[in-house]
Amino acid sequence: MTIKWEKTALIVIDVQVGLFRMKRPIYKAEELLENINKVTDKARKAGIPVIYVQHANKSKLAKETEGYNIHPSLKPQKEDPRYHKTVGSAFEETSLHEDLQKKGIETLVITGLMTNACINKNSRAAKKLGYKVILVSDGHSRDAKEEKQGK
């Protein structure tokens, strides 16, 4: 796959306070946050736009609550676009696809939460819409599974 970096955007999905307050913790949370910051810093230096997506629901991620906020370890800039969704894919209820098309974006670098849910859903939706998709291998995670005790 050939990547045209000038036609690439970085998307940070659902890295919100409420997801770090769940019963089961985020797997390697501190490492994840550090890695997302490294990727966003490199993207900015390379002139790659950084986009934030936030999920709203009626519990831990309710709008107007602290849980909805982007995690304080991340450093969104005022010029970074933000998209707000209530379903798994940011391509369903928002103008994300149209906005990316207007900017000529062909490749999406994806980071965030949760690997098994919104990362999966957004990656598949982006691919279906014709984008090249790159998942940052240490830039996405999910809640830590409980370890099974065996004899």
Residue 150 within any structural domain of the chain = no
- CB-CB contact of 135 with 119 (8 Å): yes
Element (H, E) at 85: strand 82-85
Find the DSSP H helices in the chain. 29-45, 96-102, 120-128
Residue 149 within any structural domain of the chain = no
The pTM for the full model equals 0.93
Residue 132 within any structural domain of the chain = yes
- A 10 A CB-CB count for 75 gives 13
Residue 16 within any structural domain of the chain = yes
What are 65-101's pLDDT values in tens digits?
999 999 999 989 999 999 999 999 999 999 999 999 9
What are 57-73's pLDDT values in tens digits?
988 899 999 999 999 99
Q: Which range marks the domain in which residue 10 is found?
A: 5-140
- CB-CB contact of 112 with 20 (8 Å): no
Residue 147 within any structural domain of the chain = no
Coil/strand/helix, residue 140: strand
- At position 115, the amino acid (one-letter code) is T
Residue 32 within any structural domain of the chain = yes
Q: How many domains does the chain have?
A: 1
Residue 45 within any structural domain of the chain = yes
Residue 148 within any structural domain of the chain = no
The domain spanning residue 17 has which CATH number?
3.40.50.850
- CB-CB contact of 112 with 53 (8 Å): yes
